[in-house]
Structures are given as C-alpha cells and as structure tokens.
C-alpha cells in the first residue's frame, strides 16, 4: 500500500490503520485477534483452496521464501480428508520399504508381512 505521494506505508502505519478499522467493525477485544499477517495467511489458504500452485501463492502473498508457504498456506480440513481418502483408494506396488535400513541387528521388520496383517484385520479391530 502507498500513501498519497505513492510512498510505501510503513508496517506500523498499516497495523494502526487496520486496528482502527477493525475496532470500528467489531468489539475491540475481537479486533485485537487480527493483523495484516493473518489476512495474508487467509489469502494464501484461499489461493491454495482455489488450486493455485505453491510458486504462485508465494508470489501473490509476496513471501520471499517457500518456507512461508509450508508454514502458513494450510489445506482446508475437507481438502486434507479428500487427499487421505484418495490415497487410501490407491493400489501401489512400490518396493521402497524393502530398502529401508535395519533398525538394529536384533530387529528386522518385514513390511509386507505387517501390511498383510492390517489387510486381514477385522473391520471392528482398532488398528490405530
């Protein structure tokens, strides 16, 4: 944002003006819960929900680092659940688990056997 002379507004000026606006629109205690930062996070989450790629979310939110995206651009709960549901419907044949290192000399895990155990588990068994 810029002032009348097209000079960028300082962070403190923006926060002060936003605080005044929010106090005019809602209870003062509620208004203190928000900042421009929270609106940027909301914007990034909305972009992600709209299908925007991470690189474009970073550019539009004006973040210098992709680390900000991984911290602030969160999936909506329904989108997270949709991806988990999709993953559970997949049949994979990856053998990556066979190449995992041994935990120690005494314990070796046969991941195929473990996976087979869960596939055979009765539906009423709590496998968590």
Q: Read off the pLDDT of residues 37-95 as tens digits, 9 standing for 90 and up.
A: 888 899 999 999 999 999 999 999 888 888 888 888 888 899 889 988 898 888 776 65
pLDDT tens-digit map of 87-127? 888 877 665 666 666 666 666 566 666 666 555 545 544 44
**What contacts 23, CB < 8 A, 6 or more positions away?**
31
DSSP secondary structure string, 12-76? HHHHHHHHHHHHHHS-HHHHTT--HHHHHHHHHHHHHHTT--HHHHHHHHT-S-HHHHHHH-PPP
Mapped onto helix, strand or coil, the DSSP state of residue 113 is helix
Contact status, residue 21 vs residue 52, Cβ threshold 8 Å = no
- Predicted structure pTM score: 0.55
Convert 25-40 to b/e letters by CB count within 10 Å (16 or more is b). Answer: eeeeeebeeeeeeeeb
Structural domain boundaries of the chain? 11-82
């Amino acid at each position: 944002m810029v002032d009348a002379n097209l000079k960028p507004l300082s962070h403190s000026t923006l926060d002060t003006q936003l605080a005044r606006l929010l106090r005019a629109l809602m209870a003062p205690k509620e208004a203190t819960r928000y900042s421009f930062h929270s609106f940027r996070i909301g914007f990034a989450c909305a972009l992600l929900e709209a299908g925007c790629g991470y690189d474009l979310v970073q550019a539009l939110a004006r973040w210098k680092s992709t680390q900000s995206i991984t911290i602030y651009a969160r999936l909506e709960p329904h989108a997270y659940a949709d991806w988990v549901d999709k993953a559970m419907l997949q049949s994979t044949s990856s053998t990556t688990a066979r190449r995992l290192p041994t935990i120690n000399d005494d314990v070796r895990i046969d991941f195929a056997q473990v996976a087979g155990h869960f596939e055979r588990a009765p539906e009423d068994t709590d496998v968590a």
